[in-house]
Amino acid sequence: MYIRKHILNIPFRCYSSESRINSFIKSKLMSAEDVAQKFPEQITIGASGFTPAGYPKVIPSAFAQRIKNSKNPENFSINLYTGASTGDELDGVLARTGRMKLRIPYQSHPDLRKLINEGKLNFIDMHLSHVGRYIREGIFPPIDVAVIEACDVTPDGRIYLTNSSGMSGTYLSLAKDIYIELNQAHPLEMKGLHDIYLPELHTGRPINIDYVDDRIGTPYVRVNPERIKGIVLTDKFDSSKGFKQPDDASFKIANNILDFILHEVEYGRIPKKLLPFQSGVGNVANAVLACIARDKRFNSIEMYTEVIQDSIFDLLDSDKLRFASTTALTFSAQGQIRFFKEINELKSKFILRPMEISNNPEVIRRMGLITMNTALEADIYGNVNSTHVLGSSMMNGIGGSGDFTRNAYISIFMAPSIAKGGKISAFVPMVSHVDHNEHSVQVMVSEQGLADLRAKTPKQRAKLIIDKCVHPMYKDQLNDYFQHAQRVSFAQHTPHDLKQALSWHVRLQETGSMHPDHQQSQQPTSKDTEKAAKKMDETVPNKK
């Protein structure tokens, strides 16, 4: 399956050796402050950036300063569309103006999260594969201005993106005006990494990607150069701090997953050369890749995912990464330096695709992916909550986890069984919010073990999850609930006691712990939910 020719071959060194500041760029140069002055007060911005990579870093700050200096800041209103989460230089500075009115489709910034959960900012949490169509069909307000980070712009309107593709192609095609942040921190060797192709609407034509390294588009986005109203020079890295090193629980989860995959290979349900992997972000996802790099039972893997992190270097160092397709390279500063240093060699192993392709259900289903995503909590029947604390407080968003889970060959959800020293169980009688239902969740994993939920009835699922995944300090309680539910439920297919199903969440809100031994004699206050959400925010890694 690995010996093929690309549909479209792109030379690895397809950049100019001359200075990137050509005559066209010189004619368009502006300061960030000058660009900000041209923005309308009521504005919808389509910005580059994905979790958080390749986002504009100086124009948003200048616009925020303009709002701050205005005699009538209340006249300003901002709708912000991106690919996913971005850095403080975009999400943070605009959130702190207090004038952001709509944010889509994903976020992870604490200032944004605070506004969302205070009801001061409209946030639409949605599957990333739906974003492009909603915007292209006019379901969302039209884009006034596209602000896109690039490493090069040519006189004929070719825009070469940096560390992410995300929604940039769509925003560039639809925006009335285009402003470019030309980031000279990115070498011209970035040219050739991207494969830009936007699917047509309503044609039914297939997206001709069968393998992770297939190319069907161009290494740039092409626009009418007259629509490019200004170019601002920058030289800043993305502000991603990376993720914490995986802990012992993360490595145990990773090893449980790898043992399961090899079991499936043994039974012939996964080919010996394996299937492509999709992996979410965070400690557990990093642990999986680190374990593959160290495990002699794995020789070579492919990835078809939406975010690549520093953990990819473990696979590269062990010579186990054959190829990786993504929409963003989210590296720490050290990872970014290494990637640039080795870019001529690494370009043969990476493709960056638009979000409409990386998250496209058609392509994901055809590929036959093994998907691995993080759960905030799961219930005994296999329903997963990825987004809400205590059913009400938004964390980050569903991101692409639904796109991959619903179309996977094998969908895996993983979570440490407890958090906050045992005060919170990741496995509960009933989740307080559902993002992924039991029909999509095939495998559940914690450091305690792995539950294969395929071809199981709801009650069989419950027994497996309690037996394999739940922490010992909560196992008896969850067993007691399940037995009680079977006695009192009015039906036996999926037994629940609705009076008790969310009692663990109520206990957490009232006492700060789901465990009865941690109960405190206090009355719940209006700030209990906010405190619980803050505790979870400190515990749960960003997923997109």
Q: Residue 361's CB: how many other CB atoms inside 10 A?
A: 15
State the pLDDT at residue 12. Answer: 39
DSSP string, 468-490: HTS-HHHHHHHHHHHHHHHHH-S
Judge contact between 236 and 336, C-beta under 8 A: no
Q: Across residues 216-221, what is the average pLDDT?
A: 98
d(CA 214, CA 37): 42
Whole-number average pLDDT of the chain? 92
Say whether 290 sits in a helix, a strand or coil.
helix
DSSP state, 354? B
Q: What is the pLDDT of residues 100-148, one digit of tens each?
A: 999 999 999 999 999 999 999 999 999 999 999 999 999 999 999 999 9
Strand 100-104 vs strand 122-123: parallel, antiparallel, or unpaired? parallel
Residue 414 pLDDT greater than 90, yes or no: yes
List the CATH code of the domain at 248-476. Answer: 3.40.1080.20
* More confident: 5 or 370: 370
Residue 44 pLDDT greater than 50, yes or no: yes
With a CB cutoff of 8 Å and minimum separation 6, the contacts of 460 are none
Buried b (16+ CB within 10 A) or exposed e, 503-533: bbbebbbbbbbbbeeeeeeeeeeeebbbebb
Percent of the chain with pLDDT over 90: 86
CATH 3.40.1080.20 domain extents, the chain:
248-476
If we measure between CA atoms, which residue out of 451, 445, 447 comes closest to residue 463?
451
CATH 3.40.1080.10 domain extents, the chain:
23-234
Phi/psi-derived region of residue 89, left when phi > 0, alpha when psi is between -120 and 50, beta in every other case:
alpha
Q: Residue 366's CB: how many other CB atoms inside 10 A?
A: 15
Judge contact between 333 and 234, C-beta under 8 A: no
State the pLDDT at residue 90. Answer: 98
pLDDT band for position 245 (50/70/90)?
confident
Would you say the pTM of this structure is higher than 0.85? Answer: yes
Q: What is the pLDDT of residues 339-356, one digit of tens each?
A: 999 999 999 999 999 999
Q: Please list the active-site residues.
A: 306
Task: Give me the half-sphere count of Cα atoms (radius 13 Å) on the Cβ side of residue 52.
Answer: 26
Q: 23-234 falls under which CATH superfamily?
A: Glutaconate Coenzyme A-transferase (3.40.1080.10)
State the pLDDT at residue 523. Answer: 39
d(CA 325, CA 484): 48
